[in-house]
Amino acid sequence: MSLQNIGMLKNADQDAIDDLIAQAHFVRLCPFHTIQDMGTDALYLQGNRVERPVGYSPFIEARNFDPYCSRFDTAAIFFAKANMMRRDPGPGTVGHLNSPDQFRPNGVAALALKARALLYAASPLNNELGVKDWEEAAKANWEAIQIALQYGYGLLDFADYKKNFVGTTYTNEQLWGWNAGNVNYNTSSMSGIVNGVFAADKVATSGESPSQNAVDKFETKWGDPLNTQADRDAATALGHYNEQNPYVDRDPVSISMSSTIRLL
């Protein structure tokens, strides 16, 4: 509706109009998140039934859905026209990280989410075209990295890494962020954001958002540790570990966690 009625907007300059057009395209990321959380079946939920078109393939449908390519590209084009590849001035400039619109998406974020969507499409859960899918994901991710560097984004020093999550309004590592303000750790809003680990009732709630590092803490089914490269090399020499298929012959608990990793 925003795109259909943008011509009715009065007293707005062209940059503002282009910014609104870009944001309208950007929010089409919602179906991508639906696919991530519930699979492509969720796109066809109608009432209590799942309606699938003839020839339905969840993987192909996921790939062809707009957020995987065209909408993010279009959003980035209009963000660039609106001079909104990032919302705030870059590092070393007055106003850096202080834009009142910092919570709104920008062109760099659009290309980064395109890269994320294509990587998801290339993963073993959704891969349809083999190496070609990975090549497309690699190109999109390289483009996203280059555009982020061009506009001054960068990783924080490790000592400051927690500033990305707490104690600081915004950091230069965040391509697109929203600050929740002052929130107590034991509130429902905090436990919703970071699973149940901050919940007041530790008996009833708990949670883990597993990273690859967390999965690596689980050994092979023979008990080989996999924490370091030396560990992995030793397990490989015994035929207990394959870097190209790292979830085979792992401790059963790590297998369930690795399935979650693939969905992230």
Q: What is the pLDDT of residues 64-100, one digit of tens each?
A: 544 456 788 999 999 999 999 999 999 999 999 999 9
Token pair 């699979």 is at which residue?
39
DSSP H stretches of helix in the chain: 2-5, 14-26, 30-38, 58-64, 70-81, 107-122, 131-150, 188-193, 212-216, 229-237, 252-263
Residue 59's pLDDT band, with cuts at 50, 70 and 90, is very low
Instruction: Decide: 3 and 20 in contact? Cβ < 8 Å.
Output: no
The model's pLDDT over 124-149, given as tens digits with 9 standing for 90+, comes to: 877 888 999 899 999 999 999 999 99
d(CA 9, CA 119): 37
The model's pLDDT over 172-217, given as tens digits with 9 standing for 90+, comes to: 999 998 888 887 766 666 666 665 555 555 555 555 556 667 777 7
Burial classification of residue 32, based on how many CB atoms lie within 10 Å of its CB (0-12 exposed, 13-18 middle, 19 or more buried): buried
Write the DSSP string, 134-185: HHHHHHHHHHHHHHHHHTT--PPPGGGGGGGTSS-S--TT-SS-----S--T
Handedness of CA 230, 239, 127, 30 (dihedral sign): negative
d(CA 192, CA 188): 6
Whose CA is closest to 183, among 173, 175, 171, 191? 191
Instruction: Flag whether pLDDT at 44 surpasses 60.
Output: no
Domain ranges of the chain: 2-164, 212-263
pTM exceeds 0.85, yes or no: no
Tokens for 57, please give them.
């393939």
Mean pLDDT (the chain) is 79
Instruction: Decide: 185 and 197 in contact? Cβ < 8 Å.
Output: no
